[in-house]
Structure 1
Amino acid sequence: MNQRTARANAASFHTPDQIADSPLARYRDLVDDWDAFAETLCRPLPVAIWANASRIPVEELAGLLREQGLSPTPIPGLPNALGLPPTVSAGQHWWYCVGLAHAQEVVSQLPVGLMDLAPGQRVLDMCAAPGGKTAQIAFALGNRGTLLANDISFARLKALQGNLDRLGVVNVTTTLGDAANWPTAGGQFDRILVDAPCSSEGTLRRNPSLWRRLGTGNSERLGPRQRALLRKAVQRCRPGGRILYSTCTFAPEENELVVADILAEFPGKLRLLPVSIPHFVTAPGLVDWQGRTLAPELALCRRFWPHHNDTGGFFIALLEKDAGLPAEPEPEPAVMSTEEHGDWLSGLESKYGLTPDYWSRYRVNRQTRRGLHLMAADHRPPAVPPAEGRGLFFHRTNVRPPKPTTSGALLIGRDVVRFRLELSEIQRDAYLRRETFTPTPEQAAETPPGQIIVCYLGHVLGVAVWHPSGVIESLFPSRWSGCASGPESDRQLTTDN
């Protein structure tokens, strides 16, 4: 039984009567249809994915899924997304492994589309891991410019970087720390996302074990931290810029009350903006809660109750900073290696048939002794705070012969014209399981032995070595290979709330 099926089965143990007797009962008077709300929380959550449009159109991705018998359905209001049954474990499929798609809950896909993003903006994602929203922002910026992705947990930041690498994101610098203490020297931003850590009540359909941890104590504990994050976002936002605050909880103490308190701290400097989300049923933000009356504009916040759109629960507030306030100077840029990399790059050009001007779209930088990173040509991270990583690690030069990383191959492989080999379905699965396999005589006539880029249906899978002995050795990363182990595997790559 895979993880998704196990979670779905676990969710069925809850009943509407249990919901009515749980801490969630305090929302009974807020919900328009309590019975529908309770019944929905007792059903497993449908799976949602979005196509990596830099690699595949959503229509083509849907075709690949239909060929596997997965029955994808369009999601109204999310033109780049597809819905799948709750029993599908997206992270165990080849198209997920190689970054053609990312799994992310429907309501979690909505905030980025409300941020009015455009290339040229400087953006901060304050609580970024595991990275689905970060990647959405990166692509909305055209995979160019400067996006800072911060998280307080090193382990979660590693998961975020793995997702960005798999998807081919090159315009992100990651930082480690408490975003509530984001330094002034890091500069101001045109757009800031505060997807705040919360009690996660809205994820109950996907995380049934959360049932044991429900209670108002979580909201009381998290509220001060959420205020600190949103307060810092206001300070780091440029005049005229926007802040998107979101949580995946129902608790007013973590939602409207947080927003109301920050608005009161910055009188005349912030305003709530109306939010329009076509094809989704939403409820207005609360204007009173347990005897406290809030400003009428709090109704501009949006609530997502699970029974309205068959989703998880979610909360969104969109704020704009007064454009008339004074702006801060641009931050000091990070100093990066000025080492020349021409020999390494020309080696890749000659082997794989890349054009001499190929690298002009990127900024090449050595950040570690292991090899080279690629960043967007106009990526300009600040000197402070210190970076955990910049761009995408794409070429390993501390081995002989040097070779592209898997994420590097996924990025440049579409442009490779030599030492590129198309695999069969059986070979594809063997490659993703890190097995050795034998090429066919027809394949042997296509390309000589050596380091090769392997593909399936024209989509790049990664790097392999064709040995003179006549076998192909997979170099697919072991940390990624669980997603291709077949339906009986319990291993799965990280997906987003």
Structure 2
Amino acid sequence: MAEGSARGRAAVVNTPADIAASPLGRYRSLVDDWDAFVASLCRPLPGCVWANPTRIGVDALAGLLAEQGVAAAPVPGLPGALAVPASFRAGQQWWYCVGLAHAQEVVSQIPALLMDLAPGQRVLDLCAAPGGKTAQMAFALGNRGTLIANDLSFMRIKSLQGNLDRLGVVNVTTTCSDGANWPSASGQFDRILVDAPCSSEGTLRRNVSLLQRLDHANSERLGPRQRALLRKAVQRCRPGGRILYSTCTFAPEENELVVADILAEHPGELRLIEVSIPGFLTQPGITAWGDKTLSPELALCHRFWPHHNDTGGFFIAVLEKSPACLVEPQPTQAVGSEIGNAEWLAGLDAKYGFAEGYWGQYRVNRQTRRGLHLMAADHAPPAAPKAEGSGLFFHRTNVRPPKPTTAGALLVGRDATRFRLELTETQRDAYMRRETFEPTPEQASAMPRGQIIVSYLGYVLGVAIFHRSGVIESQFPRRWSGCAAGPQAPATARDLPADALG
């Protein structure tokens, strides 16, 4: 089998013979067209980006792509999503780095559509990092209310928070906890997503070297943890609520067999429900594997094979908890201090000219010594586990003068009526590269010196300093400045979108 590389990641590196000789060969009896399945796994995975509904429409995003000469097409069944070439590096684009869009594999976007989300629901994402599904669900809830994004890894939580900050999500509390031991003190949730850690066979088109590491033993090893996560979700789901279990693998040991065991543990309390997925061809869940015969109910699960929709592989089961189960109280925890924040908000109003009563749509509090966070006004984190963070860190008060964070500027900057400067394309590129650049004569005469919010085509880019010397200094975060303004450099791991699959 040919080795993959960063330079050739979009090229065919696995052959049909490689696939047939791998552990994937055991699925031959499950696939309707083996040759088409194998051929799809030997092709690079098309890209996909979705428009941030709080900042840009999908048609406007398509226009930005067209200006770059990038062919983008709507994805049937995914409102707001655009298919882009496999070789296109969304994570390097200015509009991606300022949160106008997010890169996420097509099938990974489907779970949020099937959760039947609506504002006012209390939602738990039990295995959330790196955060694409979390962000989708946050916006489906109207960016208000309470969504908990949990992950076992603190470093993955940090990556998740970075994605949420860039996109302007304010209705999420992040937690770092073992989802299989999620505390009962959290109360119950209307919707729970269990996007379980798995053997990731369905990501082979994106991770070509994975084929060398596939082993049937991985599925046997992961099964107990997947059952524990789904079992906990059943416990924490409110009566009449919905649980979605998903993986990006083909293995029945991680899919139907897991769901079958949990259904058997909760007779009369849990059932699979039928869901429609317009725009996608799927196959029913299997009802037999090896020497095991499963309930016909398992056919209500959905299998996404790569050759059917030119995607990765995926599995989805949607379950409903009986309305007759016991309802538990929903205890919440206080987050941060709200004492003394009015003075800081008055300073922002005085400088940037926000409308009277503007901050009433948020809860403003201090969670760290660095400054202030914004949360949705009705956000109520559970009593346990301990929150890593709630909402968005938006105003840094431990510096002089205090200044909005980039995430804060991206969120509220469009509503500023003063100290806001529109940049040219050349200035935009310099700003994204964290450079200092010259204003035009018109800009220099119209804009007072000091801290300013900068934008391009009306879209906020972040914060800059207009110095008395007459130059503008970019304050774009170093950790976000992987965006390459101008000709694209060779791809590296840093260039890849943070959430190309999840």
Task: Give 2:8's aligned residue.
Answer: 6
Residues 1:386 and 1:317: Cα distance change in structure 2 (over 3 Å): same
Task: Give 1:444's aligned residue.
Answer: 444
Once the two structures are superposed, the pairs formed by residues 190-229 of structure 1 within 5 Å of their partners are 190-229=190-229
The separation in 1 between residues aligned to 2:438 and 2:199, in whole angstroms, is 51
SS at match of 1:6: coil
Task: Give 1:488's aligned residue.
Answer: 489
The separation in 1 between residues aligned to 2:106 and 2:6, in whole angstroms, is 16
Task: Give 1:318's aligned residue.
Answer: 318
Q: CA deviation at 1:383?
A: 2.3
Matched, 1:109 2:109: yes
The separation in 1 between residues aligned to 2:380 and 2:8, in whole angstroms, is 44
Task: Give 1:428's aligned residue.
Answer: 428
Cα deviations by residue, 1:373-415 (Å, 9 ceiling, x for unpaired): 0000000002211000000000000000000000000000110
The separation in 1 between residues aligned to 2:6 and 2:53, in whole angstroms, is 25
The separation in 2 between residues aligned to 1:332 and 1:458, in whole angstroms, is 39
Q: Is the 8 A contact 1:394 1:404 kept in 2?
A: yes
Point out the more displaced range, 42-51 or 482-491.
482-491
Task: Give 1:284's aligned residue.
Answer: 284
The separation in 1 between residues aligned to 2:230 and 2:477, in whole angstroms, is 38
SS at match of 1:37: helix
SS at match of 1:13: coil
Task: Give 2:309's aligned residue.
Answer: 309
Task: Give 1:404's aligned residue.
Answer: 404
Task: Give 2:337's aligned residue.
Answer: 337
The separation in 1 between residues aligned to 2:326 and 2:223, in whole angstroms, is 29
What residue identity is the alignment partner of 2:312? Answer: G
Give the aligned length: 494
The separation in 2 between residues aligned to 1:430 and 1:338, in whole angstroms, is 38
Matched, 1:128 2:132: no
The separation in 2 between residues aligned to 1:5 and 1:198, in whole angstroms, is 27
What residue identity is the alignment partner of 1:182? Answer: W
Q: Is the 8 A contact 1:246 1:314 kept in 2?
A: yes
Q: CA deviation at 1:5?
A: 5.6
SS at match of 2:409: helix
Q: Is the 8 A contact 2:174 2:388 kept in 1?
A: yes
Once the two structures are superposed, the pairs formed by residues 141-290 of structure 1 within 5 Å of their partners are 141-290=141-290
Matched, 1:91 2:95: no
What residue identity is the alignment partner of 1:279? Answer: G
Q: Is the 8 A contact 1:464 1:473 kept in 2?
A: yes
Please, which runs of 5 or more residues in structure 2 have no aligned partner?
Answer: none
Matched, 1:26 2:30: no
Give the TM-score taking structure 1 as reference length: 0.98
Task: Give 1:364's aligned residue.
Answer: 364
Give the TM-score taking structure 2 as reference length: 0.97
What residue identity is the alignment partner of 2:489? Answer: E
Q: Is the 8 A contact 2:170 2:376 kept in 1?
A: yes
The separation in 2 between residues aligned to 1:365 and 1:158, in whole angstroms, is 20
Q: CA deviation at 1:443?
A: 1.1
Q: Is the 8 A contact 2:58 2:80 kept in 1?
A: yes
Q: Is the 8 A contact 2:124 2:192 kept in 1?
A: yes
Q: CA deviation at 1:445?
A: 2.1
Task: Give 1:49's aligned residue.
Answer: 49
The separation in 2 between residues aligned to 1:110 and 1:117, in whole angstroms, is 13
Q: Is the 8 A contact 1:303 1:315 kept in 2?
A: yes
Task: Give 1:118's aligned residue.
Answer: 118
Q: CA deviation at 1:184?
A: 0.3
Q: Is the 8 A contact 1:123 1:147 kept in 2?
A: yes
The separation in 2 between residues aligned to 1:224 and 1:306, in whole angstroms, is 26
Q: Is the 8 A contact 1:351 1:419 kept in 2?
A: yes
The separation in 1 between residues aligned to 2:68 and 2:446, in whole angstroms, is 28
The separation in 1 between residues aligned to 2:325 and 2:14, in whole angstroms, is 51
Q: Is the 8 A contact 1:4 1:87 kept in 2?
A: no
Cα deviations by residue, 1:346-386 (Å, 9 ceiling, x for unpaired): 11001111012000000001000000000000000022110
The separation in 1 between residues aligned to 2:6 and 2:266, in whole angstroms, is 44
Task: Give 2:71's aligned residue.
Answer: 71
Q: Is the 8 A contact 1:146 1:381 kept in 2?
A: yes
Cα deviations by residue, 1:273-327 (Å, 9 ceiling, x for unpaired): 0121011000000000011000000000000000000000000000000001111
SS at match of 1:218: helix
Once the two structures are superposed, the pairs formed by residues 291-306 of structure 1 within 5 Å of their partners are 291-306=291-306
% same residue:
73
Cα deviations by residue, 1:28-65 (Å, 9 ceiling, x for unpaired): 01000000000000000000010001000101110111
Q: Is the 8 A contact 2:151 2:178 kept in 1?
A: yes
Q: CA deviation at 1:338?
A: 3.4
Task: Give 1:378's aligned residue.
Answer: 378
The separation in 2 between residues aligned to 1:275 and 1:15, in whole angstroms, is 35
Point out the more displaced range, 487-496 or 163-172.
487-496
The separation in 2 between residues aligned to 1:121 and 1:340, in whole angstroms, is 31
The separation in 1 between residues aligned to 2:8 and 2:163, in whole angstroms, is 24
Q: CA deviation at 1:17?
A: 1.2
**Backbone CA RMSD of aligned residues:** 1.2
Q: Is the 8 A contact 2:335 2:367 kept in 1?
A: no
The separation in 2 between residues aligned to 1:371 and 1:335, in whole angstroms, is 14
The separation in 2 between residues aligned to 1:295 and 1:160, in whole angstroms, is 37
Task: Give 1:459's aligned residue.
Answer: 459
Q: Is the 8 A contact 1:97 1:484 kept in 2?
A: no
Please, which runs of 5 or more residues in structure 1 have no aligned partner?
Answer: none
SS at match of 1:325: coil
The separation in 2 between residues aligned to 1:23 and 1:58, in whole angstroms, is 40
